[in-house]
Amino acid sequence: MTTDERLREEQTIKAAATNPRQQTGVLVERVVRTFGERTVLDHLDLVIDDEELVVLLGPSGCGKSTLLRLLAGLDRPDGGRIEVPAKRAIVFQGDRLLPWQRVLRNVTLGLHGPDADQKARKALADVHLAGRERAWPKQLSGGEAQRVALARALVAEPELILLDEPFAALDAITRVRMHDLVRELRRTHHASMLLVTHDVDEAIALADRVVVMSNGRIGNAHPVQLSAADRAASVAREELRMALLADLGLANPH
Ligand code: ADP
Ligand code: MG
């Protein structure tokens, strides 16, 4: 994707007129999206509660990004109903930072008003990047760049944050640190979140509820009511992991 396309896409998010909603939650009803002959989303239903973090798990190509783009307002459904909050932000796998802008400007991008810089500094501090405001994107590690992308998403205090495999390109240790950061941000920023991943461990680490996509719909849903310690290691964790792998058709038959 060229930078122009990327910018246009981000501007469309702000302009798109998906049905606005008062609450921060999400309602998706019987949504259909087809590309040519292929029905990618086939009467899909999904509800996300206020401030709930739902992880959408599914194999590559099953339609996860297609659903996220609809919720972001970057694309339109061919049928069904979508209700989302007015203030939304999306974080992609790649950080999509503008290389010719310093970190602070990358965060204020699209913000207006005299306090834009102050808000951006606060968002950068929230992702533990205070002091890096004047760095160029190319001077950042992959994890830092993705934290800038998170700050950019948080800075406008969105009611819904959509994350499309946000940590998939990071190494395992950095990914675990990002999971800690997401948990921390949830205590200070009150938004619903839909995080897309194909990583079962990431789903268990973060979700209030894991939903598994199959055949263009949401199949099984698994509420995750485990303590932080039990999410890291417990019998319940292993049972959930096996159930999720089975839903993905990857279970080991013994
Ligand atoms: P996932 O994010 O789960 O890997 P996607 O939502 O990106 O999957 O894609 C689901 C399917 O829809 C794929 O087969 C993909 O090729 C197809 N698809 C997605 N967007 C388009 C598009 N704009 N035009 C045609 N086909 C598309
Ligand atoms: Mg995708």
For the chain, how many structural domains are there in total?
A: 1
The enclosing domain of 24 has a CATH number of 3.40.50.300
72 belongs to a structural domain: yes
Average pLDDT, the chain: 91
**Has residue 175 been placed in a domain?**
yes
* Predicted local distance difference test score (pLDDT) of residue 24: 66
Quickly list DSSP for 225-242.
---HHHHHS-HHHHHHHH
Please report the pLDDT score of residue 9 as a whole number.
60
If you measure from the C-alpha of residue 63 to the centroid of ligand 2, how many angstroms do you get, rounded to a whole number?
7
Please give the pLDDT value at position 4.
61
Q: Which ligand is nearest to the CA of 34?
A: 1
**Structural domain includes residue 110:** no
- Residue 16 has a pLDDT of 45
Burial of 160 (0-12, 13-18, 19+ CB in 10 A): buried
* Other Cβ atoms within 10 Å of 104 Cβ, number: 21
Nearest ligand 1 atom to alpha carbon 69: 6
**Does any domain span residue 128?**
no
167, two tokens: 């940590």
Residue 68: phi, psi to the nearest 5? -65, -40
Q: Could you tell me if 84 and 74 are in contact, meaning their C-beta atoms sit under 8 angstroms apart?
A: no
Kindly report the pTM of this predicted structure: 0.89
Mean pLDDT value across residues 238-243: 96
Q: Would 253 be classed as within a structural domain?
A: no
Sorted by sequence, the CB contacts under 8 Å of residue 238 that are 6+ apart come out as none
Range 228-244 average pLDDT? 95
At residue 229's C-alpha, the angle toward residues 223 and 235, to 5°, is 65
134 belongs to a structural domain? no
Residue 126 has pLDDT above 80, yes or no: yes
pLDDT tens digits along 69-99: 999 999 999 999 999 999 999 999 988 999 9
pLDDT of residue 253: 53
Q: Is the C-beta atom of 60 inside 6 A of ligand 1?
A: yes
Q: State the Cα–Cα distance between residues 98 and 104, nearest whole angstrom.
A: 11
Ligand 1 pocket, residue 41 CB under 6 Å: no
Instruction: Check pocket membership of 62 for ligand 1, CB cut-off 6 A.
Output: yes
Show the domain range for 21: 3-98+160-247
Distance from Cα 155 to the centre of ligand 2, integer Å: 24
The answer on pLDDT for 254 being more than 80 is: no
Q: Which residue has the tokens 């939650």?
A: 25
Question: Atom 24, ligand 1: which residue's CA is nearest?
Answer: 35
63 within ligand 1 shell (Cβ under 6 A) = yes
Q: Is the residue at 130 inside a domain?
A: no
Answer yes or no: is pLDDT of 17 > 70: no
* Residue 29 within a domain: yes
Over the range 184-203, which residues count as b (16 or more CB within 10 Å of their CB) and which as e?
A: ebbeebebbbbbbbbebbbb
Does residue 62 surpass a pLDDT of 80? yes
Q: Decide: 35 in ligand 1 pocket, CB within 6 A.
A: yes
From the CB of 66, is ligand 1 less than 6 Å away?
yes
Closest CA to 54 of 185, 247, 222: 222
Residue that the structure tokens 């029905």 belong to: 39
21's enclosing H/E stretch is strand 19-21
Q: Is the CB of 58 under 6 A from ligand 1?
A: yes
Tell me the C-alpha distance between 130 and 217, whole Å: 41
